[in-house]
Structure 1
Amino acid sequence: MNHIQAVPASVIDSIVAIALAEDCPRGDITAGTILPPDARATAAVVARQPGVLSGAAVFERVMKQVDGAIEVTPLLSDGERFGVGQRLITVTGPAASVLTAERVGLNLLQRMSAIATATAVLVERVAHTNARIADTRKTTPGLRALERYAVRCGGGVNHRDNLSDAFMAKDNHLALVGQGEELTTALKSVRARLGHTTAMEVEVDDISQIPAVLDAGVDVIMLDNFNPSDIPAALKLIDGRAIVEASGNVSAHTVAEIAETGVDIISSGAITHSVAAIDLGLDVVIE
């Protein structure tokens, strides 16, 4: 799936370097002492459960940072599905180096594939609608670039990358700014100061807040924790004057009902902050 926007190699390498420094700060005592210096190993990443692959290039960079002599061969592309028992990646090289890199490589690959898999489930559930599945900023500190890439591998799209990326007023902002005309005035003032390419999004948790936000001419209105039965009335009020995003209580069980209301975007924090790692193992191949 080469159409998925890749993470820059420099970003991957910096994340991998930190992870390896944490896991192997002064060498691998076990692999470095029990194995003969000239021992070589061939191993395969094998799926213990089905899922969607994400992070093959990250796994390779872990191996290569430990030892450039390790050869890594992906058998699937990121974004492709795999089944139980399927080989995903093979590695060949100095045995001690392969085992030293194993845990960090698997940790990142398992988490990224879990995120891709969780995203794909939601994407499938809304495929009969025009809604798109998006992530949020609820990511693991330091791993956002990889986790957001994993969302793309699962067929989702990314929300704003960071606080500098777009204007988004949430409940706490509104609590400090005010409601009604105060809110409209404040948002219009923001619009006048921002560049024309900067998007403005405002979160509302009650339909009564929508008119003041609409009057300010924002680009996106987020319906936060709205009951699906209340969304049609909000959509009628907005009447196409802003992109409508729904968030809160999004799961595989609820996402289709939310999407069928006609919202444009459904954002989920759970696809990055609440996934359980996909069970993958690195099995040494005994010839």
Structure 2
Amino acid sequence: MNSGRLQERLFRGGGGTYDDSVPLPQPPPWRRPRLDDEALQQRPYLIGEKQVEVVNAALRLRRPLLVTGDPGTGKSSLAHAVAAELGLGPVLVWPVNTRATLTDALYRYDAIGRLRERQDGTDDIGSFVRLGPLGTALATQHERRPRLLLIDELDKSDLDLPNDLLFVLEEGEFTIPELARLPAEQAEVAVHVQGSQEKVRVRQGTVRCQDFPFVVITSNGEREFPAAFLRRCIRLELPRPGRAQLEGIVRAHFAEDLDQLEAQWARVQDLIQVFADRRNLGGLATDQLLHAVHLLQQGVQPEAEHLREAVLRELRSGGAR
């Protein structure tokens, strides 16, 4: 596609029909459908040597890794990078909000569905129990390796949730009361897990891990956590990437189009400088820079004021405009 064609507007806002001679451009790699394990291994993730050492300490100690830092510094992406590199299987994700409870992360029991089945003359209770992301992380492994659980934005949770997590993360087990109450002849029940058709067998209502999962917990620093919770975690602060690291991140994410990137490198460097200046004033996420570079490669001018305000707008109020 030539540069003139790239600069044509896809949406013109004037009514009429779409000109199908202008193809829709491909989205950037990070906005394409979920990648499989092999593709994830090729996804770039740049991190400093000191941060790598902290991650390895958490892996060796098999303690939860509490990752903090500004939005967009790659806290959640770190979990996916570790799982892909170590072959820990698809990341189990627990996105936390103010309504999140420990029980929801451990399992769900469909009591109404089971009641209907019993009325039909059958009673397979295991079909109505599905382990949540935390329950699945404790109950399953991936090719003889532990699973990786991402507890995303724990600082958004109810005040009691971090303390509620302590026993489960420390002991690696939990009880499903609905199964624990079953008679002796039903001591072992097969239940569903998250993210696959696999079932695991639960004895006497207790899920107990064979190997502690690797847990990555992210926080935007919106509140403090209890001391008892913090001492059970290995803490990692992800710093804002500097100019050199930003350049490396851009090159890594646009590795498929390096020739085009190099041809526009002077403009890309200007974008990086604009990004760094605005980030210092009002906070920006690194993916906003990547968005601006992608638009540049599509023939759009992200330096234009109205687009700069849309794509590189500060995340915190009070930043310069």
TM-score by length of 2: 0.26
Task: Give TM-score, length-normalised by structure 1.
Answer: 0.29
Higher radius of gyration, 1 or 2: 2
